[in-house]
Amino acid sequence: MSVSTAAVGQSVCSPLPVLGRDVTVPLVTGGEVAYAALDYAASAPALQRVWDDVAAYAPYYGSVHRGAGYLSQLSTDLFENARRTVAEFLDCRTGDQVVFTRSTTDSLNLLAAALPDGCEVFVFETEHHASLLPWGSARGTRLTCLDAPSSPRQAVETLERALAGRDPRGPALVCVTGASNVTGELWPVRELAAAAHAHGARIVLDAAQLAPHHPVSLRDLDVDWVAFSGHKLYAPFGSGVLAGRADWLRQAEPYLAGGGASRKVTRRADGGVDVEWHDGAARHEAGSPNVIGAYAIASACRALTEAGFEALLAHEERLIRTVRDGLADVPQVRFLSLFGDDAPRVGVLSFVVEGWNSSHFAAALSAEYGIGVRDGLFCAHPLVRTLLGGDPQAQGECGAPEAAPGEKSLNAIRVSFGAGTPDEHVERFVRAVRELVRDGARWSYRTVDGRCVPNPSARA
């Protein structure tokens, strides 16, 4: 039996319909307005297609892999078909494995736990914490954090110099993002992979921000692994993916010990137990898997593929131009960039506004205009501090409007969008930024529990 899926509609303003298009939110100045969700880089809204597919499957939900019942067998089939769909979406090679995880963070921690003893790990300071932090606690690894590059070419040259100084006889791993979660800029993944392999290292791609916007091919990019999250790929049901080479994963101890990962368990005479673990993806998927999460990711992969990335990219590039052109004559607005304003990027733009604390500005966008953006350090503290001229070694708290003494300006505003963003939301954002810069906020704000929020009944 097959589960029916909904047809995907197309429109000029929004190539792929998402949930929340009709949600209205109250304004502190009175009335309500349609909510403009411009925080896709944190979590993208669910595609209508994904929601419909999950709703169609939900009555047939059952346990997977070991159930004799019809619903169990159907769920198992859907789960394994989802694995094959993801493999096709990523253009996996023969022998690659697709492991379902909870998120990009979980995927990279799984890979960190599978590293061979003595592995050297190379990562740029520009990475999201999900791809910056797991390696330091991995068993027997040596971590080298590389300075932020000022161009794609410098990124490759920096990596080549670092790899040239290592002992080529030992294992090594390079971790790099595909698109920055702060600047949106595309990284030279193919060139970095070539540099890694030339020096006997492997490479893992953090595609959390890349996969929702661009095709990702393990074969074409020649990366060893790729990790991404469902909730950024329009499938917010708590699942992620680690896909790529099987050997290190097969040789590692299971990420979690438990049912599903074990093939055979026997009790020893001394009271202990002996375990024979699975060799495939199940080795690192212990416990009852998130079937709905995996099915949702597969649905999103199909929807993006059917819509065509060429059309999605054209839509997104138009929105980027709307923001850049609309604020080009506002000198108080400064966009953050490593590679320059003209560098290719996905729909992620971060900026600061002269004379404003970024959290205050973001709060005003939300309370007075119904626009949701992100403010803070975006779980990329070293990068944001580097871009803002602060100390990349200093500590901070994501999203906190009150920075440490001497760091009052060390937070930024991020606007991000994607396949489901209507033109009107971005146009309203541009108008709101211009008005706030010109006229100031119409309401007064205070800090409550570490957040900047409107004062009750207190106009500016």
110, 255 contact by CB (below 8 A)? yes
Q: Within a 13 Å sphere around the CA of 371, how many CA atoms are in the beta-carbon half?
A: 29
Residue 91 CA, distance from chain mean position: 19
CA–CA separation, 136 and 377 (whole Å): 21
CA-based nearest residue to 303, from 179, 206, 419: 419
With contact defined as beta carbons under 8 Å apart, do 252 and 234 qualify?
Answer: no
Identity of residue 39:
D
| Residue written as token pair 């033109």 | 423
Q: Is the separation of the CB atoms in 187 and 178 below 8 Å?
A: yes
Question: With the C-alpha atoms ordered 207, 105, 448, 386, is the resulting torsion angle positive or negative?
Answer: negative
Cα–Cα distance, 60 to 26 (Å, whole number)? 38
Contact 173, 134 (CB under 8 A): no
Based on the residue annotation, tell me whether 119 is a catalytic residue of this protein: no
Distance separating alpha carbons of residues 399 and 396, to the nearest angstrom: 9
Kindly write down the DSSP assignment for every residue of 121-174, as one continuous string: EEEETTS-HHHHSGGGGSTT-EEEEEPPPSSHHHHHHHHHHHHHTS-TTS-EEE
**Which of these, 357, 345, 347, 235, lies nearest to 296 by C-alpha position?**
235
Integer Cα distance of 328 and 322 in angstroms: 10
Amino acid at 349: L
Q: Give CA–CA dist 332/451, Å, rounded.
A: 23
Q: Determine the 3-state secondary structure of 187 from DSSP.
A: coil
**Tokens encoding 345:** 């990027």
For residue 120, list its beta bridge partners.
142, 172
Among the listed residues 119, 301, 379, 452, the single catalytic one is 379
Question: What amino acid is encoded at 86 in this protein?
Answer: V
Contact 346, 213 (CB under 8 A): yes
State the Cα–Cα distance between residues 104 and 209, nearest whole angstrom. Answer: 10
**Nearest Cα residue to 226 out of 202, 255, 254, 258:** 202
Question: Helix or strand or coil: residue 95?
Answer: coil
User: Which residues are part of the catalytic machinery?
Assistant: 379
